[in-house]
Amino acid sequence: MIPVTHLSLLSSALFCLGVYGILTRRNAIAILLSIELILNAAALNFVAFGRAFGHAQAQAFALFIIALAACEAAVGLAIVIGLYRTARTVWADQVNLLKG
Amino acid sequence: MPSSLLIQTGLWALTLLVLVSAGFVVALRNLFRAALSLGLVLVGVAGLFVLLEAEFLAFVQILIYVGAILTLVVFAIMLTARVSNPRLPPRPPSGSGRQRMAAALVSAALFILLASVTRALAAAGLQPGQAVSLSQVGQELITTLVLPFELISLVFVSAMVGAIAVAASRSPR
Amino acid sequence: MVVPALLESLRVWLPELVLSLGAMAAMLAAPTAVGAAAGRRAALATWAALLLAADALWQVQGLPSGAYFSGLITVDALGHLFRWLALGVIALVVLMVVSSSDVSRGWVGEYLGLLLCVGVGLMAMAQANHLLMAYLSIELVSLSSYALVALVRDARSSEAALKYLLFGALASGVMLFGMSLLYGMTGELSLPGLQGALRTLDASSAGALALALTLILAGLAFKISMVPFHMWTPDVYEGAPVPVAAMLSVGPKAAGLALLLRFAQALSPAWEALGPMLAVLTVLTMTLGNVVAVVQQNVKRLLAYSTIGQVGYLLIGLSVRTTVGLEAIFVYLVAYLFMNLGAFACVTAVCNESRDESLDAFRGLSRRAPALAALLTVFLLSLAGIPPLLGFLGKFLLFGSAIEASRVWLAVAGVVNSAIALYYYVNIIRQMYLLAPERAGVLQAAWPLRLAVGVCGLATVGLGLFPGSLLEWLRAVAAATRL
Amino acid sequence: MPALLLIPGLPLAAFVILILIGRRLPPPVAGWVSVGALVGSCALTWAIGGDVLHGHRPHLQWPWLSAESGFWTIGLAVDGLTWLMLAVVTSIGTLIQLYAIGYMRGDPRCSRFFAYLSLFCASMLALVMADHFVLLYAGWELVGLCSYLLISFWFEKPSAAAAGRKAFITTRIGDTGLLLGIMLLAFAAGELHFDQLDAVRSALLLQHREFLPTVISMLIFFGAAGKSAQFPLHVWLPDAMEGPTPVSALIHAATMVAAGVYLVARTFPLFTPQSLAAVLGVGLFTHLAAGTIALTQTDIKRVLAYSTISQLGLMFTALGLGAMPLAMFHLTTHACFKALLFLGAGSVIHATHQQGLAHLGGLFRAMPVTAATFLVAALAMSGVFPLSGFWSKDAILLTARHEQAWVFWALLGGAVMTAGYIFRLYLRCFHGPAPTTPTAVGVHAQESPLIMTLPLMALAFGAAAVGLLGSPVSHQFFHLFGLHEAHEGLDLAMLAVSTAVAALGAWLAWTVGVQHRNLVPAAARPAGAALYRLAAHKYFVDEWYDRIIIQPFLRTAERLSRFDLRVIDAAVDRAGLTGWSVGQLKNWFDQRVVDRLVNGTAQTVQRLSRLGRRLQTGVVHHYLLVLTAAVVVLSACLRWF
Amino acid sequence: MVLSSLLLVPLLGILAILAAPRHAERLIQRLATLATALTLGLSLGLLAKFDPQLASLQFVERLSWIPPLGVFYHLGVDGLSLPMVVLTTLLSFLACLASWGIPERKKEYFILYLLLELGMVGTFLALDLFLFYVFWEVVLVPMYFLIGIWGGGRREYSAFKFFVYTLAGSLAMLLGILALYVQTHTFDMIQLAAAGPALDPGLQKLLFFAFFLGFAIKVPVFPFHTWLPDAHVDAPTPISVLLAGVLLKMGGYGFFRISYPLFPEGAQWFAGCLATLGMINIVYGAFVAMAQTDFKKLVAYSSVSHMGFVLLGLASLTPEGMNGAMLQMFNHGIITGGMFLLVGVLYDRAHTRELSAFGGLGARVPVYAGLLTFFSLASLGLPGLSGFVSEFLSLIGTFGVWRWQTVVSVLGIVVSAAYMLTVLQRVLLGPLNDKWTQLSDANLRELVTLVPLLLIILGVGLWPLSVLQWQDPSLRALIQHVLAPR
């Protein structure tokens, strides 16, 4: 018997850790990793609630989340590599040509 | 209730695994290790999926996330490993103290907010008989959710094309 | 039983299908040829797709409104309007893409393909009736946009793309988490289902609901650049190629508003609580956008802030939540589509020639390209809300809706902001007309640009002078949309 | 009655012709056009004279501002008073214009000169013929304009240009009073026609007792005082002598300056005892003060100017005494002899190109006609029996003796001065030694041409004889005012006193003014010298005006202009459209309030804009932090508020 | 259709000029002159056909324009707008003649010029609040360019200042229009005049104030007047003429056409303020004008002073006062228009406007001197010329209502005499400055522009009924409407 509150607390914690990571990591790839945490937290929620409500759609939603995470990672990493190529850095706080 | 006990134990173990390795992901200096920690998180979450009787999803999680995304990440880390512009001064990998304080504060506040509302969620709790079978999910995917399927394919295409074009070393022609 | 319904649904979805196929075709057409020919083929495919999609959209309009694809999307007047808007945006931006020098010739196929993908995403956003659809369509738009921004592959565009990506990923992650909370509370994923479930929700879950709503709002607010979720906007616009910035300034704004409207409609009892906050954010948005635009020197950045300001005006209609407000939003969106894209098209023409994005590039433009300068003036004046241009009408209705809803202070804020906005719009006009040109020679814009500018100019002036039928249509749409 | 229209119409036509094509006409023709028109008016005036004398009142009206309401119907009307003025203006005007043909010969802008003169005649005639306050006011302003144009006719001289402006503005200050009076009358009585004034008076007295009529009449008198150069608005007239002499004769002696007297006479029913007392006071004071100044002036025309002021003061004194017909009688005789004096002076100036008494003398031999006619005028003005001045002044003295004895004595003193200054002038010009200064050209002076001396002789006849019309010999004059009872007869005592006074004045003029014998006892000399200096400097009125009115006025203008530029403009510029205008309460207010207000919109916007720019740091972490913080704050707000 | 043709002709002119090649400058200016002349002719034809006995609107045209909003293309003239329309077309024509001397970019100039005329005429003809606002704003844009491109001095600053000030005012007005629309759901001024007075008095005051801001800036009312001297001074001569001659009248006209009929309660409530503001305008403007050394600036400030009489007359709500105010608008347009033309004539030759630089021109350029004297006299309110009639009417109409404001205003007359004569003295009188011995007198084109104005000044001055008869019935009806008991 898995209490839903346990899981949603866990996913909340995961979510907040992800947020913390996003806000503190300087390396763009590390930030992308933190974003994966957030997505996982959301997916976990969906699966847990879907289990509670007995919905198949929730699992499908989680499936789509995983797929999208893959896409996002691909595009994100491509952008990081592009950035590395043009700016010779992957540290997100070092790129501030654009401001004001 | 040995199975129940097993489940409880597994649940706590997985929770611990997920949280600790998530902590590593956000805290470890070494990017490579952070990525490996993320793998642990993903595996932990997959384990939770198993506990929630969503075995297919756990399988997909391992396959796609750990197998594909993480590999990609590792590649990217290696590609950009020779960090970086030597003229830029070396600094700690996770921002200044003030930034970390603020981040911690915000995250903690967010957690408090989230935690304060969990009670309202899925109040019904989990019933054993409600497990969703894989066939149900498959049925959904080819009937109700056919449109998202179409869309995600388009997302795949655009993401791939975009990623390739962006990462490509130079203009094709 | 499933299949006929699916076929019916596919008919409704035909424009998007056509566009998707066009996207593939454009991307595939590029490698089949070399040099300019590749671009031409891609453009051909794109135009074919656009025209076919327009035709399909025209046909589809007759179909009965209601939920399709098992309730994943809804077909109604609102959706049609925004699909047309999305199509318009994409068509105009395509005209800019094929002639912008920011866009490297070798990647035209990719640009066009991604643009069409964005188009599909925008259309899907406008019709989404389900949390999954909303999330997917937003992501489709976002991911394609990240790539579009990054495609120039210089330091600034990479930086812009990175910022856009990180900001967008966080925002959509937050939204996704909010959706999961919403689902957890109600057990519903479709919007009508949510609407029903929220009615029966007890008071104890109000806090959870509020939190979920805020999280979802964050994701949508990011799309429409609402303060305080606007911070990516200026940097990304400045780094992105001009046509992409143009697309970003209109497309996602319109679709995001449509989605916001749908959420507002579905979550109506709970949404009420957002009212005062939304009104405050409305004022903040327009004020920040207009005020910060005053000191900008880069024209793309200036237009980015201007976009934020314009979104602020649009939000007036959302925060009053009346039919009149809806109608005002629609009118202003149509106006905004033409005047803003027209302005961007003019900027494209100027930047193509001068490679200079600062305001100085516009010096003496009236002597080098009188027609272009005149039309840009029209667009800017329309953005500033000078009658009889279409932008004035939109603003008129927006402020009117605020007064009608007894929120006079919103109208006053709008008026004050219009006065501030005049400052920087007129500054560009001043550069064009009152200062001597920095470089000699006549500036000749490429024909697609001239076409785009001409169409936008015609619409801004013509619809401003004779908005009768447009208004009637939009009023009908507003009436058909329940809030 | 087209004749009524033609009376001012003919000179107006002359004006139009001259202003349009005058420059193409040969100079004498321009003059003759003007004279011809005025002769026509003169003839018409005399033609209707008989009717008027028999109580006929020609009247012509037309709608002005409103076709329906009778209130705004204006028109021309002639009654006895008007006819008298018409006769004076047209007759004397004709003579003076004739004279001017000779005087202005050779001036390049001769036609312009006659155009202005014609315009003046037209406006003056319209003024006196007006049956409505507004039309009178119109004529009133127009004569002021002509006065301005003619004073500054030789505008290359800066002093002439300045004098013209001074005249216009000073009289306009008076006009303001008149305008206010008209407005008050219109508001209180709802009637502005002159023929209703009696009814208006009784209505006003009934409703408002004496207060309102007093205020109205005082305002009107203020206007009259401006035009007639009464203290304290007299300062413009002496300066006005910068104009050509025929202008001084016509406008600043015979006609325009008398318009003030006419105005008071015209609105006489409105005057209450209180306001008449004021008129009397001002008139008498001006009479005496101007007389003393005239005694000390050394410029021929200025002496005559102060003399005019003084004589006008006498007329106002008569008005103040309630003797309106007598004032008009003196106006008439004064017009004759003062015009003659000016023309004579003009003749001298024309011949010698000198105006200062120091450079003149012994001209009798060279210019016998001028000298003789001048003498006639001087005698007439001094009130020597039986010349015209005697009859008019005598009647006023008599009335004064009946009404208020002290006025009589004061007037006697004035009479001494009158004789004194005019004979001082006459004697020093035409008799005594010729000046020895090299600039003096008196000895070579020649008599003026016939066209100038002819009017002199005609006027001399008038100055001698006009008085008889109001004398016991012929009572015609007062019939104009509907007075038919017999004159009280020739008062021999008065005759004697008057002649003695004139003789005293002439003797003093000879001994003091010409022979330079000092008659003042040694003890009183310092005080006398001080008084002399005071009078010679015209009691420093101009200086005082400059200090207490003109300079403050200019400073105010300057200050307001700066205020406009710095405060209003800056305030509105910067503080948006808050529209406050309190920035004047300088120092502390400026610093505490204004500065903060002033740093308003435009600057604030700029500042805010830069601030907003700084928030956009370019570091993506900050953006992300803002996003997250916003989510937290917004949801917290939503949760707990 | 006659009213539409007034709008159509400038529009056709614009199209024709657009079609003309850029370098055919002669053709372009002839086309523009033709268009303005035709418009003038049409408006004179209107004058002939207008029935002055009727207080109601005539030649009304009403077509549905934006049906969903209830906006109509609704034109009409009555005694209030007819003199303004004639004034506009006349000054447009004359200023168009004066524009022949514009040195560069003639094509753009005349396009904008005709657009300006279109907007101005439209403002006076519109009977639909929405349409009115559209025309009102349409005027702004060409004006900005005309000052900013072809002006002198700090032209950019002045143009921008003009734009921002007026726009800020009209935005306040826009709020008023919106609030009114929300209350009544119509833009039709005639219907609004019937419905407006029934509104809550508090709301009426608020709305009156909103509209007041819009109109006051245009008039301009102290302390919103500071755009005026800058704009007038830096604008090219023909544009100064239109600015002073027509644009300021749009503000005054707004009071007559909108503020008074729609918000009678507000009008009565505000009348005291209006009278005081009028007084301040008159005296303050005159004083500030007195201190100016720049000829054009002096004339500009004299406008502030003269427009004060309009406010004063408006505040009176008496037939005399209102007639005076209306007539003053017409007269001021003619007189100050003429003054600006004269300043322009001088500036074209001497390239300076400093009063102290001149002197003694009276002998050198007699025709010009005569004209300048004439217009100055008209400006200082000499009887027999038009300015006197209107100022007198304003004063006498207001005297019974706002006693002290009127008394103080009378002072302004004295000051206006002072500064006008100072101008004459500095420019025309005194010894001739050696610099100007080669100055040429007014040429034929300049005479053609000035003489009609001169004749009008004289005509109205001698026979004021000629203009008053057009406006009087409408004004009386208006007063009756405002003062009607409710």
**DSSP per residue, D551-620:** HHHHHHHHHHHHHIIIIIHHHHHHSTT----GGGS-HHHIIIIIHHHHS-HHHHHHHHHHHHHHH--S-H
- Whether the CB-CB separation of E352 and E359 falls below 8 Å is answered with no
Neighbours of chain A (3+ CB pairs under 8 A): B, C, D
Ranges of each domain in chain E:
269-486
Q: What is the mean pLDDT of residues D592-612?
A: 61
DSSP-derived letter for residue E80 is: T
The reply to whether residue C468 touches residue E179, judged by beta carbons under 8 angstroms, is no
* Helix %, strand %, coil % of chain C (to 5): 80, 0, 15
Distance from CA of B3 to the nearest CA of A (A): 10
Q: What is the mean pLDDT of residues D378-406?
A: 83
* Helix %, strand %, coil % of chain D (to 5): 80, 0, 20
Share of chain E above pLDDT 90, in %: 33
Peptide bond into C15 cis (omega under 30): no
Cα dihedral D558, D561, D562, D563 sign:
positive
Whole-number Å distance between alpha carbons of C389 and C367: 24
Q: What is the mean pLDDT of residues C239-253?
A: 93
* Amino acid at site A36: E
The reply to whether residue A37 touches residue B38, judged by beta carbons under 8 angstroms, is yes
- pLDDT value at D78 more than 80: yes
Least confident segment among B155-169, C468-482, D606-620, E233-247:
D606-620
Topology of domain A4-87 in CATH is Helix Hairpins (1.10.287)
pLDDT digits (tens, 9 = 90+) for B71-109: 888 888 887 776 544 455 555 555 577 888 888 999 999
| Token pair 């936008």 in the structure block, residue | C456
Whole-number Å distance between alpha carbons of E244 and E77: 22
The reply to whether residue C158 touches residue A87, judged by beta carbons under 8 angstroms, is yes
Average pLDDT score over chain E: 88
Cα dihedral A82, C298, C244, A96 sign:
positive
Q: What angle do CA E286, E208, E226 make, to 5 degrees?
A: 30
Whole-number Å distance between alpha carbons of E306 and E381: 10
Q: What is the mean pLDDT of residues C319-326?
A: 89
Cα dihedral D143, D147, D149, D150 sign:
positive
pLDDT of residue D46: 86
A window 1-20, beta carbon within 8 A of B: 1-10, 12-20
DSSP-derived letter for residue D434 is: P
Whole-number Å distance between alpha carbons of E362 and E368: 8
Q: What is the mean pLDDT of residues C212-232?
A: 91
Neighbours of chain E (3+ CB pairs under 8 A): C, D
* Amino acid at site D616: Q
**Minimal Cα distance from A94: which residue of C?**
C159
Residue E89's nearest CA partner among E131, E127, E57, E47 is E47
| Token pair 């959509």 in the structure block, residue | C172
The reply to whether residue C187 touches residue A72, judged by beta carbons under 8 angstroms, is no
pLDDT of residue D589: 36
Whole-number Å distance between alpha carbons of C253 and C146: 16
Say how many CA atoms lie within 13 Å of C179 toward its Cβ. Answer: 30
Task: Determine which of C205, C214, C280 to mutate to test the interface with D (most D C-beta atoms within 10 Å).
Answer: C214
Rg (CA), chain E: 21
Distant-in-sequence, close-in-space partners of C336: CB < 8 Å, separation ≥ 6: C250, C253, C254, C310, C314, C391, C394
Rg (CA), chain A: 17
- Where residue D577 falls among pLDDT bands split at 50, 70, 90? very low
Distance from CA of D574 to the nearest CA of C (A): 13
Whole-number Å distance between alpha carbons of C313 and D427: 93
- Please return the burial class of D489, using the count of CB atoms within 10 Å of its CB with bins 0-12, 13-18 and 19+: exposed
Peptide bond into D26 cis (omega under 30): no
Q: Three-state DSSP class for C321?
A: coil
E171 touches chain D (CB under 8 A): no
pLDDT of residue C283: 94
- pLDDT value at D583 more than 70: no
pLDDT digits (tens, 9 = 90+) for D309-367: 888 888 888 888 888 888 888 888 888 888 888 888 888 888 887 777 777 777 777 78
Distant-in-sequence, close-in-space partners of D84: CB < 8 Å, separation ≥ 6: D328, D332, D480
Measured CA distances, D612 to C203, C278, C294, C428, D118 (Å): 40, 21, 10, 21, 73
**Tokens for D3?**
């004749």
Whole-number Å distance between alpha carbons of E295 and E272: 33
A23 neighbourhood in chain D, CB within 8 Å:
621, 624-625, 628
The reply to whether residue E108 touches residue C475, judged by beta carbons under 8 angstroms, is no
C181 neighbourhood in chain A, CB within 8 Å:
45
Rg (CA), chain D: 32
Residue D502's nearest CA partner among D603, D587, D617, D423 is D423
B124 neighbourhood in chain A, CB within 8 Å:
52-53
Helices D405-430 and D368-382 sit at what angle, rounded to 10 degrees?
Answer: 170
Say how many CA atoms lie within 13 Å of C302 toward its Cβ. Answer: 23
B window 4-43, beta carbon within 8 A of A: 4, 7, 11, 15, 18-19, 22-23, 25-26, 31, 34-35, 38, 41-42
What is the value of pTM for the model shown?
0.89
**Buried (b) or exposed (e) across E41-66, using 16+ Cβ within 10 A?**
ebbeebeeebebeebebbbeeeeebb
C234 neighbourhood in chain D, CB within 8 Å:
616
Task: Give the other-Cβ count within 10 Å of A65's Cβ.
Answer: 25
Q: What is the dihedral of CA D275, D280, D283, D289, to 10 degrees?
A: -130
Measured CA distances, D607 to C282, C289, C291, C292, C412 (Å): 21, 14, 9, 9, 21
- What is the H or E stretch that residue D63 is in? strand D59-63
pLDDT of residue D444: 63
Most confident of C64-73, C379-388, D23-32, D428-437: C379-388
- Whether the CB-CB separation of C467 and C249 falls below 8 Å is answered with no
E469 touches chain D (CB under 8 A): yes
Whole-number Å distance between alpha carbons of E80 and E57: 9
Q: How many helices (H) and strands (E) does chain C have?
A: 21, 2
C window 433-462, beta carbon within 8 A of E: 433-434
Instruction: Give the nearest partner residue to B120 out of C143, C185, C187, using CB atoms.
Output: C185
The dihedrals phi and psi of B143, each to the nearest 5 degrees, come to -115, -75
pLDDT digits (tens, 9 = 90+) for D103-157: 888 788 888 888 888 888 888 888 888 888 888 888 888 888 888 888 888 888 8
The reply to whether residue A23 touches residue D625, judged by beta carbons under 8 angstroms, is yes
Neighbours of chain C (3+ CB pairs under 8 A): A, B, D, E
* Helix %, strand %, coil % of chain A (to 5): 80, 0, 15
- Where residue D595 falls among pLDDT bands split at 50, 70, 90? very low
The dihedrals phi and psi of D478, each to the nearest 5 degrees, come to -75, -15
The reply to whether residue A65 touches residue C154, judged by beta carbons under 8 angstroms, is no
Distance from CA of A69 to the nearest CA of D (A): 19
- pLDDT value at D598 more than 60: no
B113 neighbourhood in chain D, CB within 8 Å:
632, 635-636, 639
- Please return the burial class of D519, using the count of CB atoms within 10 Å of its CB with bins 0-12, 13-18 and 19+: exposed
The reply to whether residue C139 touches residue A19, judged by beta carbons under 8 angstroms, is no
**Tokens for D103?**
């005087």
- Whether the CB-CB separation of D163 and D240 falls below 8 Å is answered with yes
pLDDT of residue B85: 47
Whole-number Å distance between alpha carbons of A45 and A41: 6
Q: What is the mean pLDDT of residues E315-321?
A: 89
Distance from CA of D612 to the nearest CA of B (A): 20
* Helix %, strand %, coil % of chain E (to 5): 80, 5, 15
Whole-number Å distance between alpha carbons of B123 and E301: 77
Residue pairs between chains C and D whose CB atoms are closer than 8 Å = 76
C388 touches chain E (CB under 8 A): yes
Whole-number Å distance between alpha carbons of C303 and C310: 10
**Tokens for E328?**
């003053």
Average pLDDT score over chain D: 80
Across-strand partners of D77?
D59
Whole-number Å distance between alpha carbons of C478 and C330: 8
B window 54-113, beta carbon within 8 A of A: 54, 56-57, 60-61, 64-65, 68-69, 72-73, 75-77, 79-80, 83-85, 88, 91-95, 99-100, 102-104, 106-108, 110-111
Instruction: Give the nearest partner residue to A93 out of D613, D614, D621, using CB atoms.
Output: D621
- pLDDT value at C201 more than 80: no
Peptide bond into D232 cis (omega under 30): yes
Distance from CA of C159 to the nearest CA of A (A): 6
Residue E414's nearest CA partner among E403, E422, E404, E402 is E422
pLDDT digits (tens, 9 = 90+) for D255-270: 888 888 899 888 888 8
E436 neighbourhood in chain D, CB within 8 Å:
none
Least confident segment among C339-348, C395-404, D495-504:
D495-504
Whole-number Å distance between alpha carbons of D601 and E486: 42
**Minimal Cα distance from D627: which residue of B?**
B106
- Where residue D435 falls among pLDDT bands split at 50, 70, 90? low
